[in-house]
Structure 1
Amino acid sequence: MVWPSFPPRFSIKLSKPELVPPKTPTPKEKKALSDLDDQASLRYHMPGLWFYENKESMVGVDPAAVIKEGLAKALVFYYPLAGRLFQGPNKKLIVDCNGEGALFLKAEANVALRKLGDFIHSPSPYLSKLQYNVPGSEGITGCPLLLIQVTRFTCGGIALGVRFNHTMADGYGIVLFLKALCELAQGGSTPSVLPVWDRDTLSATANPNPTCSHAVYDAPSFRHNFSLFDFEWWANKIFNVEKLASQSLYFFFPTILKPIMVRTSFILGPKEIQALRDQAVAQDYGRCSTFELIAACLWKCRTIALQPNPNATVRLTFPTDMRQKSLAGLKLSAGYYGNAIVMQSATSTAKLLCDSPITYAIQLIREAKNKVNGDYVKSVIDFMVTRGRPRMSVLRNMLVSDISRIGMEKIDFGWGNAIYAGASIAAYGATFLERPKSSDDSTTEKSILVPISLPHIYMQIFKREFKKMTSSSTP
């Protein structure tokens, strides 16, 4: 865990929210999203926070003015982000490129950035201050697709809050947009990587026909799975969580369960990652990626903590970025900023997962990763169209998304790289692998920060299992 229990308090003076349209006129047209973009699992607004220390050479320069100008210029190239979504037949999302603009806010904090310490890490208790939720802006259709807030601290440090409609872009895509914003804010005439729409590439044909199974979208079964301390059985029985999960934002903001949740972060440094690697080696397993090791560890520790019925089917879900794979017939441009990810799941009974060595989970993850090819992607797309654009299941499932390698911290609009950049949340059923705050310690670059949200007693079990698994090199 990376911080004590009580974060320091501070207040901010917030300007009136305003809409920033593109700097120059842009095409007025309707553009359909891809059939990966508009699935139910992506119909929410994704938050993120970037933190920057004061820079002497920028004294007297207003960061809000710099970013606002860069935003207006970037929206000329990324003009669909200045529009509004509407829903067509078969739940199809379409962008009305009307140039209304993105939401922009300026704020002043009455505290120095250094006072916040490691509380800038996900899950940041300051998200609602540094990324104000403008009333009426959180809808999927008819609302701004992008919200940016620039907060200045008394020391000259800066917080950049960015919230985007996930149906419009994935993590790589929003980083691409923000890099363009930075380039244009600092005098560039065009982005170094021009944006590409090209959503038809990831849309279904006239006669969609899924050819693969996609268990990640199957609702979990709770029949005959009762166990006295099974939190998810009780949560579904009392709150009907799977039904609630169909609401926008629920997957990442479970308001009904929020009062009983503990949200914190864990850091896996080189020693902890090596301990996991040593276990795989001791079990005569081959080379493992850092993602496989961490995802297997989290899946196993979380399943043990939640104490499901031993016969229950549990899943680990994770995205694969098609930009990083060579897939037949699905070559994407470097400027493609839409959702270029497909989800796949590793599946096991709870008993086998909990009782087996870590290599069991690693093997299941690897097998799921290897299923992704051109045919699988086309099948996912066709599945979305023929099955009403479903969402992933929340219960009996853990989503692990690695955003540590997309360059979030390298968003430089004149104040250098961010000292920390992350999703800022800990969500029940989902986590992000992030880089911790930069420091003089060279191990930071090789460390991974993991935000976790669990009910209190289950979090205590998770901590115990996590410590046991990452501090020992024995199987």
Structure 2
Amino acid sequence: MSSSSSITLKGCYTVTPMEPTWRGCLPLTEFDQLGIAIYTPILFYYRPPQNWLTPPTKIATTLKHSLSKVLVHFYPLAGRLRSKGNKHFELECNAKGAQFIEAESSLTLSDLGDFSSSSDNYRSYLFPQVDYTLPIQDRPLLIVQLTNFKCGDISISLLASHAVVDGQSATHFIAEWAQLARGEPLKRVPFLDRNILHNKEPCNGVNECKFDKPPLLLENSDSNVEEERKKKTTVAIIHVSKAQVERLRKIANESWNKPSNERNYTIYETITGHIWRSACIARGLKIDQPTVFGVVVDFRSRVKPSLPKKYFGNAIVNVVATSLAGDLMSKPLGYASSRIKEAIEKVNDEYVRSTLTDYIKRDYDRTLMYGYTVPFYRNPNLGAVSWTMLSYQKFDFGWGEEVYVIPGIHNILEGETYILPSSQVDGSLMCFICLQEVYMSAFKRHFYEGVIELDSLSKL
């Protein structure tokens, strides 16, 4: 097994469903197809009480046993992808199982810091690795790694295939797994029929497609675009208190005129608007530089009829907010929030059907390249995925709730942001953002100056 100087992989096991499951092939929707090569990483850090540390195998045994039980209900994650030709795949439910890895580490939580340093490669070893040399039909769709730290703490990290799950589905799975690990019955049965999206009626012609186009490039940059993209990147964690969140939201809603019958800007629209304009200033963009902000929108409740709440699959679509950098930098925060709000609100049943039938099926390669696997990020653009509504916090497998949770930021894209509730669960937020290293200090300065006195941004 491979290892770093601080983390050693001790064993690798296959965990199959405890009981016989349905065998056969499930169709993948076009939204699933776009995530074929992507695995979503997430890590939970725990401090189990002493009674869970003896014998040393107790936690691993509990996790493997409960994983075997939960895969009976979530059996697509125990299957494999199979090619149908023409770059399309289907999901073969064959109960081949998930991969479970055990590792040991001499590190402690204080050694890990806030995970934002890109120079400490050992952090990536806390996440399982996908063996992309294997044929796709042999790759597990779910990979779990349990890391035991010498201090008695543990981490549980997961890689779940984006062809099978989106954020809501992954959350649902982890919650039910924890439920069974605690000895409690399954609470919410997943809805596994993906034909519900295949039955959407197409729009009348590709000209009516409303799917967002590929991202804009550095059109007005003085430097070579390719050289600009090669600049070293770094990740920072921006902490925003509940009071700061409320202050920003109040300013956003009061600083930009909108019809009286329109709803107020959400926390997401407020925070991302502030991130967008702060990054434009930090990057030194010209006032006539076009920039876009990519947003991932869950459409379960936006289509007609609504999808079942526990629909197990991908029900997300990328949209973009657009603006000139100069407008973002000179106008109040509410303007940036209004651009993001407008992008989100255009996702309705017609938009989803247009995306599903007209654009993706007719222009699949282009969508695969720009619409999902290379989202609307990178200078001068940004994008943000919000985990604030996904209940990613507080999963108790029997030894208490996690003390820390992070996305897999060791492979985060430049311009990409993850927004999570803080570990204190007090209404504060953590924003994991990746930018080119040369701009990060300026970004943090402008971001926090804006939190303290937002009006100062327009004077910079």
Q: Residue 292 and residue 197 in structure 1: after superposition, are their counterparts in 2 closer, same or farther (change >3 A)? A: same
Mapping of residues 58-457 of structure 1, within 5 Å: 58-60=52-54, 62-113=58-109, 115-116=110-111, 118-120=113-115, 126-133=122-129, 135-136=131-132, 142-188=138-184, 191-203=186-198, 209=205, 211-215=208-212, 217-221=213-217, 225-228=219-222, 234=224, 236-238=225-227, 257=230, 260-280=232-252, 283=255, 285=257, 287-323=264-300, 325-329=301-305, 331-382=306-357, 383-388=359-364, 390=367, 391-392=370-371, 393-395=376-378, 396-425=380-409, 426-438=412-424, 444-457=425-438
1:174 counterpart SS class: helix
> How high is the sequence identity, in percent, across the aligned residues?
27
C-alpha displacement at 1:309, in angstroms?
Answer: 4.2
Tell me what 1:30 maps to.
Answer: 25
2:173 counterpart SS class: helix
Q: TM-score, with normalisation over the residues of structure 2?
A: 0.85
**What is the one-letter code of the residue matched to 2:281?**
I
The one of the two structures with greater contact order (alpha-carbon pairs below 8 A, sep at least 6) is: 1
Q: Residue 32 and residue 363 in structure 1: after superposition, are their counterparts in 2 closer, same or farther (change >3 A)? A: same
Contact 2:7–2:122 under 8 Å retained in 1: no
**What is the one-letter code of the residue matched to 1:410?**
K
2:339 counterpart SS class: helix
C-alpha distance in structure 2 between counterparts of 1:465 and 1:345, whole Å: 23
Query: How big is each residue's C-alpha offset from its partner over 1:385-415, in whole Å with a ceiling of 9 and x where there is no partner?
Result: 2221613344443221110221112221101
Tell me what 1:244 maps to.
Answer: none
C-alpha displacement at 1:122, in angstroms?
Answer: 9.1
C-alpha distance in structure 2 between counterparts of 1:437 and 1:150, whole Å: 20
Q: Residue 90 and residue 205 in structure 1: after superposition, are their counterparts in 2 closer, same or farther (change >3 A)? A: farther
Structure 2: runs of 5+ lacking an equivalent: 259-263
1:415 counterpart SS class: coil
Contact 2:80–2:141 under 8 Å retained in 1: yes
C-alpha displacement at 1:141, in angstroms?
Answer: 5.3
Pairing partner for 1:462 from 426, 443, 446: 443
Q: Residue 221 and residue 402 in structure 1: after superposition, are their counterparts in 2 closer, same or farther (change >3 A)? A: closer
Contact 2:5–2:122 under 8 Å retained in 1: no
Q: Residue 356 and residue 11 in structure 1: after superposition, are their counterparts in 2 closer, same or farther (change >3 A)? A: same
C-alpha distance in structure 2 between counterparts of 1:328 and 1:106, whole Å: 44
Between 84-93 and 364-373, the greater mean CA deviation after superposition: 84-93
Query: How big is each residue's C-alpha offset from its partner over 1:323-382, in whole Å with a ceiling of 9 and x where there is no partner?
Result: 3x35322x2223212111122211112222222221111111111122121111111111
**What is the one-letter code of the residue matched to 1:375?**
E
Q: TM-score, with normalisation over the residues of structure 1?
A: 0.83
Q: Residue 334 and residue 206 in structure 1: after superposition, are their counterparts in 2 closer, same or farther (change >3 A)? A: closer
**CA RMSD, aligned part only?**
2.7
Contact 2:265–2:338 under 8 Å retained in 1: no
Contact 1:10–1:109 under 8 Å retained in 2: no
1:237 counterpart SS class: helix
C-alpha distance in structure 2 between counterparts of 1:369 and 1:237, whole Å: 30
**What is the one-letter code of the residue matched to 1:328?**
K
Tell me what 2:261 maps to.
Answer: none
C-alpha distance in structure 2 between counterparts of 1:218 and 1:136, whole Å: 27
Q: Residue 303 and residue 29 in structure 1: after superposition, are their counterparts in 2 closer, same or farther (change >3 A)? A: same
Contact 1:39–1:384 under 8 Å retained in 2: no
Q: Residue 87 and residue 312 in structure 1: after superposition, are their counterparts in 2 closer, same or farther (change >3 A)? A: farther
Q: Residue 374 and residue 51 in structure 1: after superposition, are their counterparts in 2 closer, same or farther (change >3 A)? A: same
C-alpha distance in structure 2 between counterparts of 1:122 and 1:227, whole Å: 28
C-alpha displacement at 1:214, in angstroms?
Answer: 2.1
1:446 counterpart SS class: coil
Q: Residue 55 and residue 192 in structure 1: after superposition, are their counterparts in 2 closer, same or farther (change >3 A)? A: same
C-alpha displacement at 1:174, in angstroms?
Answer: 0.9
Structure 1: runs of 5+ lacking an equivalent: 1-8, 242-256, 439-443
Aligned residues: 432
C-alpha distance in structure 2 between counterparts of 1:160 and 1:138, whole Å: 24
C-alpha distance in structure 1 between counterparts of 2:286 and 2:134, whole Å: 37
Contact 1:51–1:421 under 8 Å retained in 2: yes
Contact 1:36–1:203 under 8 Å retained in 2: no
C-alpha displacement at 1:59, in angstroms?
Answer: 4.0
Query: How big is each residue's C-alpha offset from its partner over 1:217-239, in whole Å with a ceiling of 9 and x where there is no partner?
Result: 424255xx33326xxxx3x4348
Q: Residue 219 and residue 142 in structure 1: after superposition, are their counterparts in 2 closer, same or farther (change >3 A)? A: farther
Tell me what 1:14 maps to.
Answer: 9
C-alpha distance in structure 2 between counterparts of 1:170 and 1:10, whole Å: 34
